[in-house]
Amino acid sequence: MLLGANVQLFRFAINSKDAWHNLIGPLIGYGMASTLLIVGAWRRIAWTRYVLIGLNWLMIIFFSLAAAYLASDPLFGSQHAMVTFGPSIVLFIVSNVWLIKSKRIRHLVTAPGSGG
């Protein structure tokens, strides 16, 4: 889910004909950081799940503000941006709720023998 949202936003940032090329840097940074945090969770490092959840909330806020700016700009006028941002933000929210609520993820990051 995270990869799908990231790819969709990256495609928008590359194909846009305006100032949205600035989104490429945060998207690449988020992609690398989330990959490392997922590997850390897979290696049972418990704090990586919390950092990934926080990073996802920051990305949700960042891209929601970008979407609000696009929606309020009368000169932009492209529905393609809203079609791109909407599902991506929903995917970020769904994956974050899954990271928070999933007992399987919680069990995955709990070290063996720690009672979790």
Residue 58 is assigned to a structural domain of this protein: yes
pLDDT digits (tens, 9 = 90+) for 49-92: 899 889 989 988 988 887 787 777 776 656 666 777 788 888 88
Residue 13's pLDDT is 73
Residue 116 is assigned to a structural domain of this protein: no
What does the alpha-carbon distance between residue 56 and residue 42 come to, in Å, rounded to a whole number? Answer: 18
pLDDT at residue 95 is higher than 80 = yes
Confidence band, pLDDT 50/70/90 cuts, at residue 38: confident
Residue 114 is assigned to a structural domain of this protein: no
Residue 79's pLDDT is 67
From the list 40, 96, 37, 102, the residue with the least C-alpha distance to 63 is 96
pLDDT at residue 94 is higher than 60 = yes
CB count in 10 Å sphere of residue 78: 14
Count up the domains in the chain and report the number.
1
Residue 82 is assigned to a structural domain of this protein: yes
Structural domain range at position 30: 2-109
